[in-house]
Structure 1
Amino acid sequence: MWDKIEHDGYEIWVLPVVAYGPPAPGTLFHFIGYVCRHGANAHIAGQSERFQEFAETFHSEDEARDAGYRAGRLLLDKFAKSL
């Protein structure tokens, strides 16, 4: 399920995704996400910036979600003025 936090007036949305096959004990995760202004339509080009991590794996959904939030905050801290 998508989860959201706010950072400096923007929204960071993150979805942990299973890295390999169906969930099972020891399943590893990746994440996908996007950042946008409040009220933006993420499906319209230019209103959001997407990001993902498919190389590194995480041992739980929570780890993947937290890593996604960190990546989103970093993206916003560097590039928020262009969104």
Structure 2
Amino acid sequence: MWDKIEHNGQEVWVLPVTAYGPPVPETLWHYVGYVCRHGADAHLEGQSRRFQELVATFRSEEEAREAGYDEGRRIADQASAAKA
């Protein structure tokens, strides 16, 4: 399920995904996500910045989600710095 945080005036959306098929007790995880401004239509070109980590693996869904939030915050901070 997609989860969202707000950071630096932008929305950071993250979806943890299983690395190898359906979840089992020792499932490894990746994440996909995007950053957009409030009210943006993230499906339209230029209104969001997508990112993912499909190489590194995380030991839990929560660990993948937090790593995705960290990456989204970094992207949001870069966008804010570029506007300044």
Per the alignment, residue 51 of structure 2 pairs with: 51
Calculate percent identity across the aligned residue pairs: 65
After TM superposition, give the deviation of residue 21 of structure 1 in Å.
1.2
Matches within 5 A, 1:1-83: 1-80=1-80, 81=82
- Normalised TM-score (structure 1): 0.94
Would you identify which runs of 4 or more consecutive aligned residues in structure 1 move more than 3 Å? none
Quote how far apart the aligned CAs of 1:4 are: 0.1
Q: Which amino acid aligns with 1:50?
A: R
Residue identity in the other structure for 2:2: W
Q: What is the RMSD of the two structures over their aligned residues, measured on CA atoms?
A: 1.1
Displacement of 1:76 after TM fit? 1.1
Measure how far apart 1:77 and its partner are.
Answer: 1.0
**Cα distance in 2 for residues equivalent to 1:78 and 1:37:** 13
In structure 2, the gaps of 5 or more residues are none
* Partner Cα separation in structure 2 for residue 23 and residue 61 of structure 1: 10
Work out the number of aligned pairs and report it. 82
Using structure 2 for the length normalisation, give the TM-score: 0.93
